[in-house]
A and B are shown apart, each in its own frame.
Chain A
């Protein structure tokens, strides 16, 4: 039973990864990347690694997504100003 859940999350993660790469809208892609992080948090927790899950929840879905979004905003504001 738990193996099937793990398999379902794995397939979702593969689909999300393909969507992240193939997406042309970069902010949309970053949001999908944060969703990918959320899926891997559940996976780490099922594989009984709560420490890694906590790290991934804070870094993967929080700080790195915000840093990506901010960098995109910086690039765009420079493009508009020119």
Chain B
């Protein structure tokens, strides 16, 4: 009778580490405090003085750390570019994800403009409520995804408009940064009147930057979804 079973050393090590970390983290969970902010209060005062944006996260992303957002947008653009190179073109390809359903086909005509409108709402109100350019852009792309799902091959994207929107919004984004460098103190500096807090027309350049980011991200993610959703018909 052999009761010995082989246990790998890595499994043993991982379970040991996880149990020790759980025991160490347990006191943190039990007296969890929602109001522990050390850097947050500093940023709140800075935000109150320099921008008039109601959403502090937005002003950090676009105003205090605008250069990082430029890097993120560049990384997204390069990854979509690489996918486009790898999955060579879109001609002679069939939509494999289409699902023939009458209910979906009728409902998508109502839902498509509503989802686009919701995406633009999220983009434009980025400095007032949670959300912003990136989230709203992906919501707009998800509307196009629904269109691909419902209409199948009868839905074709106009690639000229998509590439034009992508290029123009990217150029406008960098142009805003350069204008901030010339007219204000630094790259992505504010050169527009600030307005009063929690108005739609407030926050200086923040809404403009987020509109450009939103159009760019929506064009890129829509192109990404189309690259993945179409396949060459082998048979």
Contacts and interface: CB of A to CB of B under 8 A. Distances in A.
A-B complex is real: yes
Interface of A: 2-4, 6-7, 10, 48-51, 53-55, 58-59, 62-63, 66-67, 69-71, 73-74, 77-78, 81
B202 interface: no
A49 B132 CA distance: 13
Interface of B: 29-32, 34, 55, 57-58, 96-97, 122, 130-132, 134-135, 138-139, 141-142, 145, 221, 224-225, 228-229, 231, 234-235
Given A3-B32, A48-B34, A66 B145 contact: yes
Contacts, number: 63
Q: Is the interface of A mostly helix, strand, loop or mixed?
A: helix
Nearest to A3: B32
A81 B130 contact: no
A48 B211 CA distance: 25
Contact of B97 (A51, A53, A54, A70): A70
Nearest to B60: A51
What 5 A-B pairs come out closest when comparing CB atoms?
A3-B32, A50-B130, A58-B138, A3-B29, A81-B234
B127 to A, nearest CB: 12
Given A77-B231, A81-B235, A51 B131 contact: yes
B130 A63 contact: no
Nearest to A71: B228
A71 B34 CA distance: 40
Interface centre among A6, A51, A78 (most CB of B within 10 A): A51
